Structure 1
Amino acid sequence: MLAEPTILLVHSPLLTSATWDALRSQLDAAGWRVAVLDLRRLVEAPSFHAAVCAEAAASVAPGVPTVVVGHSRAGPYLPGIADAVGSDRLDVVFMDARLPHPGTSWFRSLPPERAAWLREMALSGRLPTWDTWFPDDSLADVLPDPDQRRQVLHGLPELSWKVVSEVLPTPGKAWHSARHIYLQLSAAYQPTAKQAEERGYRVRSLDSNHLAMITQPALVMDLLLSALQP
């Protein structure tokens, strides 16, 4: 008899595990076994990638069928997480997420003008918290409920530049044998979803926003579960 699958939720390094609170409640109520990584305590590790992969492996029982879901900037870490988990039945889901860039860093994977903008923001070797990157009204548009906005934006990390400049390794066997899925939540990620489709990913879309798993968790759960169907 096959073990019950686990859904492993991985937030963007720029955000916190509160990203997943609403969706996790939906999945829990639907009877899924859910694990959530908290990346904030890993950002000072000598290798952020290695620490994330080790934490992921420790969060899932060996051999258990696993669905790894990564949001936004968690995307490039999903191949390493897939290899660390190493399940024979593995789905890797990119949720409005960046695609992998093995052999290069987050910084070097950016277009030159975007890389220069990011570099200019770094003060004393750290990036300012993600909420300061945008005008206040733009975040209010995405997270209109003030209590929810405070919860999601509380305790955001200032990432060390070593996280941004770390070169990610080449993926291994488990990543290549996994099923790859892309869930597009916002119009901004339509080009990325198209690239994912060209790579052979299963692509599904929702006309919403980048943080829809917070504001519309039931819809996002339905999108995720439908994409996981055989």
Structure 2
Amino acid sequence: MPERPTLLLVHGAWHGSWCWNPLRTLLEAGGWRVDTVDLPSVAPQDAPRHGMHDDAQAIRDAVNGPTAVIAHSYAGIPATQAATPEVRHLIYVAAFVPDVGDSLLNMVGGTAPPWWRTEEDVVHALTPETVFFNDVDDPPTDRLLPQSRKAFTDELTEAAWRTTPSTYVLCAKDNAIPPPAQEAMSRRATTTERLDAGHSPFLSCPQELAAIIENAVSLPRRPSPASG
């Protein structure tokens, strides 16, 4: 790319932009402009509930000029829905890579995993210390918030990976999205990188993840094939 894009970091379900702090510090030290967005589907128990399309709009609103979107986990879904012509590259970090008509719930087989607890219109993550943070020294479990169930059932109407170059970062020790599922989804990306990490490499190995991101957005990439 002739100019460095802004790096937009988009957190996954139950998280907030706080989770990117170690990675953001490294990227900014390397001269990158870094922005984050807080998805409205993650909110306290008594807050209004927003869906995936609200999250996609929040991502669109955060894009200002040439941008590379780095999406973690659930965020791969609204990021795929949201990508605009200004998005030059998508980086999926242990993330879902959906197609048109997909929702997170149908991508996990239509049945909630055993570590979800659904309570009316929200979903709570059980045992996050082992599901999300199995290789993190000081797991920030107390910072997680309820997740809107609607975000997991809303379906895609756009699939940006079909036209936007992309990189998939596969995490081999992930307890949230099994590596074989990541392998299958990574075939939709232009290229695949691998980390020997759990579900949260931005906390467990931010230096390695920063290097992958910097390399991915600095190199010219062929368009992603429009295939399933």
TM-score, normalising length from structure 1? 0.79
Q: How high is the sequence identity, in percent, across the aligned residues?
A: 23
**Counterpart-to-counterpart distance in 2, 1:125 and 1:27:** 36
> 1:6, 1:33 within 8 Å by CA — same for their partners in 2?
yes
Shift of 1:153: 2.9
SS, match of residue 93 in structure 1: strand
Select the structure that is richer in strand: 2
Question: Residue 19 of structure 1: CA displacement?
Answer: 1.5
Structure 1 outlier segments of 4+, above 6 Å: 137-140
1:179 paired to 2:165:
yes
Q: Are the aligned partners of 1:42 and 1:51 in contact in 2 as well (CA < 8 Å)? A: no
Residues of 1 paired with 2:169 and 2:192: CA distance? Answer: 6
Deviates more, 1:175-184 or 1:193-202: 193-202
1:224 to 191, 213, 216: 213
Q: Flag the 1:58–1:7 CA change in 2: closer, same or farther, 3 A.
A: same
Distance apart, 1:45 and its partner CA? 6.4
- Residues 108 and 115 of structure 1 are in contact (CA less than 8 Å); yes or no, is this contact kept in structure 2? no
- Equivalent residue for 1:205, pick from 194, 207, 215: 194
| Counterpart for residue 112 of structure 2 | 115
Aligned residues of 1:184 and 1:204 also touching (Cα < 8 A): yes
**SS class of match (2:196):** coil
| Counterpart for residue 127 of structure 2 | 134
Quick check: which has more Rg, 1 or 2?
A: 1
Query: Which residue number corresponds to residue 137 of structure 2?
Result: 144
Q: Deviations over 1:57-76 (max 9, x none)?
A: 22222xx2211010111111
CA shift at 1:195, angstroms? 2.0
Residue number in structure 1 paired with 2:224: none
Q: Is the 8 A contact 1:99 1:192 kept in 2?
A: no
CA-to-aligned-CA distance 1:127-169 (integer Å, 9 cap, x gap): 12x2xx1275666642223xxx2xx333422123222222222
8 Å CA contact 2:167–2:190 kept in 1: the answer is yes
Q: Contact 1:101–1:109 at 8 Å: present in 2 too?
A: no
2:226 — aligned with what? none
Alignment partner, residue 79 of structure 2 = 78
The alignment covers a number of residue pairs equal to 213
Pair 193,58 (structure 1): closer, same or farther in 2 beyond 3 Å: same
User: For 1:201 and 1:34, how far apart are their aligned partners in 2?
Assistant: 23
- 1:95 equivalent in structure 2: 93
Which sections of structure 2, spanning at least 5 residues, go unmatched? 221-228
Measured at CA, do residues 200 and 79 of structure 1 come closer, stay the same or move farther in structure 2, by a change above 3 Å? closer
Determine helix, strand or coil for the equivalent of 1:210.
coil
Residue in structure 2 matching 1:162, options 141, 145, 150:
150
Confirm or deny: 8 A CA contact 2:70 2:93 kept in the other structure: yes
Q: Which has the higher helix share?
A: 1
C-alpha distance in 1 between matches for 2:96 and 2:41: 22
**1:50 counterpart residue number:** 53
8 Å CA contact retained: 2:73, 2:95: yes
1:31-50 alignment to 2 at 5 Å? 31-40=31-40, 48-50=51-53
Judging changes above 3 Å, is the alpha-carbon distance between structure 1 residues 165 and 137 closer, same or farther for their aligned structure 2 residues? closer
Counterpart CA distance in 1 for 2:51 and 2:198 is 28
Distance 1:122 1:170, change over 3 A: same
